[in-house]
Chain A
């Protein structure tokens, strides 16, 4: 057994680390570690910096601009982002839409969309969930009727993350409402968000932030060449995407950084005249999260090792990385909030208050992170996946 990275892997880690230290704009890093939402400009600026380095789409085939890194290097790259406080690029374009295009797209579709995704020219968002179709995706109702050279799309998407920034949206739509099984009759469409008939409406979450949206489609004309894969075969595409790459959901690097921030915060706070970090009750809870994180990190590395040895994807078991990773993230946001005690109460920074702006963001951050166990296949769905695929129940 050998639990450490090889010399080459460590050198690669140092290279990524050094580059991030010199290239990540300070204002963007400040926003990430200070728990502020990023603007569209922040995302695009950072994407262009990565694209200029050739690192915006490491996992793509080299012919399309990928780096040719192996699975371990890609994992190290992601984790270094988390440690450095670098925002990951939103997954919708570079990961999700691109994966689908690379697998199912026509040569024309690939040439049209992939370079723009790589360069950060288009901001992509995801149109999956609908009112009444969350984790149960096969229940989508948004209708796309074939009208000669285009589809006419009517319906509504919900929880569209960063939809307010979107140039393009990829959608699951129902093209055959009469299909015998619900999974049949669904198609995968690429829609230009500037098309007439599309309305984006903010959904403000309990943290006060604007992160998700409702997107309404009213007689939206979508050219048929924007159909990916065959009509009524969109479920195949959706399933492919669901099984694609969830190693990143462990987010060990980001949680390590959060834990460091929590330690610092708890060292500065005082309770009964002593640092909060020396309070046994607080200390025990923090230690338990730290141990969970260590266990998660080792488990993720075991999966990596297995993937590298077998050349096979890790299968349903990666769902446990999502479950444990999000539980840890949530526990950390909760401890951060509790660490500042009554200072967590102002809903926003108050001018002239003794409460600093950072403390006032900790409760909203805790609120916001309840999303992590719900999105990307709720943790209950992840348990269903393990129950069925691994345990055979």
Chain B
């Protein structure tokens, strides 16, 4: 039994935290969100230099062969600073799909760029009106001239506008909504027939709805087994969910720290409001729920790293996400309430924590979604 971060894990998180403290404060973050691309290329290069993009990539592919546990402390640091670059989407989703599902040629073509920061990827898998379903319905790839012809539409593809390539889940057979017949295809973001409708998410990320109209792809665009990509997709989304849980811990801790500081300094009726027992107990509950959520984030990371039975992995990740979603809701709502009117202000970081935690609670499935999956597996 050992629940501590290893020295390497802690050192990496410390250097990321130092970097973010110097180069990614609240005002700089605001400028990044307001910029044309919505991300900082300098920050991205720094993340790559610090090795963040290499950790979870297999050693054979030039990475460190680490797992979610190795990224937990770092994701937590990113969560504290509300990093808006699509790190999770690259190292959690796209990188995971390529390093586990890609052919030798694909891994050699994509992963060096992903690791050194020169290539970003985005995973396009959600479809309009399908909520959190992972199996595509409307996006279809038909065999065509030794390759593929891709048609369909994806929604809320985080990081698509700053990605060089998209990994697209598409139906190459089977019935709509079913797991069989699902394939993954690599698509250049600028390929003819690909169009993006880019927008800002409520938590400051860049996402896009992506349309594919008769996009012509070569035979080598296929990533993983034809028609058999669902296990790969499910694993990657579980992996990313575990990272998102760690990210959430950082944001919750930041919200709690800010709220505690506010309780100690803000005075009403001549005394700090933190002297009021009704507020103390609410603060304590925020603290407890964050610790409980941290325990579940640790469990999720450990489970996805252990491999083994996919159903057991899904069950554990879902249990963690239920707890994280509930905790994110409680911490975010209470942090605003305890800040009073100040908490509503765009100028206060706690309101940005609120928006981020609200979206974290929903991303990859909300509490109801995961409670249902958990119950069905138990």
Contacts and interface: CB of A to CB of B under 8 A. Distances in A.
B1 to A, nearest CB: 5
A4 interface: yes
20 contacts: A1-B301, A1-B302, A2-B2, A287-B371, A287-B378, A288-B371, A291-B374, A294-B299, A295-B292, A298-B296, A302-B295, A304-B1, A305-B1, A320-B287, A383-B284, A386-B287, A387-B277, A391-B284, A393-B260, A393-B274
Interface in B292-311: 292-293, 295-296, 298-299, 301-302
Nearest to B283: A391
The 9 closest A-B pairs by CB, nearest first: A298-B295, A387-B280, A295-B292, A383-B284, A383-B281, A393-B274, A299-B295, A305-B3, A2-B2
Given A288-B371, A384-B280, A387-B283, 20 more contacts: A6-B1, A284-B371, A290-B378, A291-B374, A295-B292, A295-B296, A298-B295, A298-B296, A298-B298, A298-B299, A299-B295, A301-B3, A302-B295, A306-B3, A324-B292, A380-B281, A383-B281, A390-B287, A393-B274, A393-B280
B291 interface: yes
A56 to B, nearest CB: 27
B2 A305 contact: yes
A292 interface: yes
A298 B378 CA distance: 19
Interface string B258-278: 001001100000000011010
Interface in A329-387: 380, 383-384, 386-387
B283 A301 contact: no
Size bin of chain B's contact surface: 35 or more
Chain A: interface size category: 35 or more
B287 A1 contact: no
Contacts of B299: 3, 294, 298
B283 A299 contact: no
Contacts of B280: 383-384, 387, 391, 393
Contact of B285 (A295, A304, A383): A383
Given A280-B375, A383-B280, A323 B288 contact: yes
A283 interface: yes
A295 B3 contact: no
A309 interface: yes
B7 to A, nearest CB: 13
Residue of B284, B372, B378 with most partner-chain A CB within 10 A:
B284
B332 interface: no
Contacts of A391: 260, 280, 283-284, 287
A5 interface: yes
Interface of B: 1-6, 69, 260, 263-264, 274-275, 277, 280-281, 283-285, 287-288, 291-293, 295-296, 298-299, 301-302, 319, 322-323, 371-372, 374-375, 378
B295 A295 contact: yes
A254 B307 CA distance: 30
B2 A287 contact: no
A287 B288 contact: no
Nearest to A297: B295
A21 to B, nearest CB: 25
B22 to A, nearest CB: 28
A295 B324 CA distance: 11
A3 B1 contact: yes
A22 interface: no
Interface in A282-328: 283-284, 287-288, 290-292, 294-296, 298-299, 301-302, 304-306, 309, 317, 320, 323-324
Nearest to B302: A3
B1 A386 contact: no
A273 interface: no
Nearest to A304: B1
Contacts of A299: 291-292, 295
A392 interface: yes
Contact of A291 (B260, B264, B287, B323): B323
Contacts of B2: 1-2, 305
A72 interface: yes
A386 B277 contact: no
Nearest to A263: B378
Contacts of B323: 291-292, 295
Contacts of B274: 393
Nearest to A379: B281
A386 B296 contact: no
B272 to A, nearest CB: 8
B264 A392 contact: yes
B283 A393 contact: yes
